[in-house]
Amino acid sequence: MAKKSLDSKTFARQKRTRRGWITFWRMVRYGVNNLTRNAWLTIAATAIMTITLMIIFASVATRTILSDTISTFNQGVDMSLYIDTEADNEAVQQVQDDIKRLESVRGVKYISPDEQREAFAERYKNNPAILESLQMATNRFSGTIRVNLYDIEDTGELEDFVDSNETYKEVADNSREPSFAGERKAVLDDIADRVGTFQIVGYVLLLIFVAISILVVFNTIRMAIFNRKEEIYMMKLIGADRSFIRGPFVVEAISYGAIAAILATVLGTLLLRSLRDGLIEFGLTAQPTIDFMSNYAILIALGMMVVGAIIGVISSLLATRRYLKI
């Protein structure tokens, strides 16, 4: 008797599962069919969502390119501390060792006054007047400690070192400010401000187009529901679940996102490749981002589909809420 009861429960559970799958595939089929019922609305909603996803694609790509460019810029820009020509070599070495211990410092290099003089002569070797003046000059060049930071904006630790390290104060050339102060500091701050402003503008545009996309899909679903209002009413009268009524519209909106994601990924990748030479000539480190986008296009498209699906689900749920109360 117990075995018969257990078999009955198992059969009932399997039946419910089978019915659930049948219902699910019906909702998917109805949702896909809805795409062709209002072709122009489908095209409009997909186009707006494609633009939205392309802006998301462009925002991510731009942020990555800027990050790589800043990283490359950080590696190529050194902060200079100027050392007096009569400074003791042991003291200068001690200053270098102290700077290397700073957490914000990537590397340290010392250029002696003689090396500075030779580099200056090499730079102006084709200018006899400057070379003659150099040979007649009695003063020597200052030594320079070049400090490479992980982040050129993070100069606080180095500034504290300059202000507090007694050994450095003994050997410093007080006639010259460190390069992270004065005009060069202003230039670096201006670059950082421009990058920050560009990122903020990108986020604002992204939010605007996401909102527009949600509104367009929302109105598309609302119009589809309005056209099928009597059909929905009859379905509710015969006892159809809300999930079954809502499901096709959710599938329809997700389909907008899926199609738009594929289009946005393809168009975004092609656009990025077409702009590669111009970006590189402009001084941006774009090649790593382009290679990543090309090599992982499928994963990027899947990620865009998820974003598009989220936008579509939000829009469809908002649109169906009113009419499911009939």
pLDDT for 199 beyond 60 = yes
Per-residue CA distances from 196 to 59, 151, 191, 210, 266 (Å): 13, 15, 9, 21, 28
| Domain match, 210 and 245 both | yes
| Domain match, 92 and 62 both | no
Give a yes or no: residue 206 inside a domain: yes
pLDDT for 6 beyond 60 = no
Do 102 and 162 contact (CB within 8 A), yes or no? no
Q: Which pLDDT does position 280 carry in this prediction? A: 81
Is this model's pTM higher than 0.75 or not? no
CA torsion 180-186-189-191 (nearest 10°) is: -110
Average pLDDT, the chain: 75
Tell how strand 105-111 and strand 78-83 pair up.
unpaired
110 secondary structure, DSSP code: E
Domains in the chain, number: 2
Query: Of 117 and 94, which is predicted with more confidence?
Result: 94
Domain range for residue 159?
85-173
Which pLDDT band holds residue 188 (cuts at 50, 70, 90)? low
| Domain match, 314 and 199 both | yes
pLDDT of 41-85, one tens digit each?
A: 778 778 888 888 888 888 788 878 877 777 776 666 677 788 887
Supply 42's token pair. 């489908």
Closest by CA position to 253, among listed 197, 318, 299: 318
pLDDT of 257-288, one tens digit each?
A: 888 889 988 998 888 888 888 888 877 778 88
What stretch of H or E contains 143?
A: strand 143-149
pLDDT for 168 beyond 60 = yes
Give a yes or no: residue 15 inside a domain: no
- From the number of C-beta atoms within 10 Å of its C-beta (0-12, 13-18, 19+), residue 219 rates as middle
HSE-up of 39 (CA within 13 Å, CB side)? 1
Q: Which pLDDT does position 218 carry in this prediction? A: 76
Give a yes or no: residue 183 inside a domain: no
pLDDT of 292-311, one tens digit each?
A: 888 888 888 888 888 888 88
The residue from 145, 173, 201 where one domain ends is 173
| Domain match, 145 and 198 both | no
Which pLDDT band holds residue 326 (cuts at 50, 70, 90)? very low
| Domain match, 225 and 280 both | yes
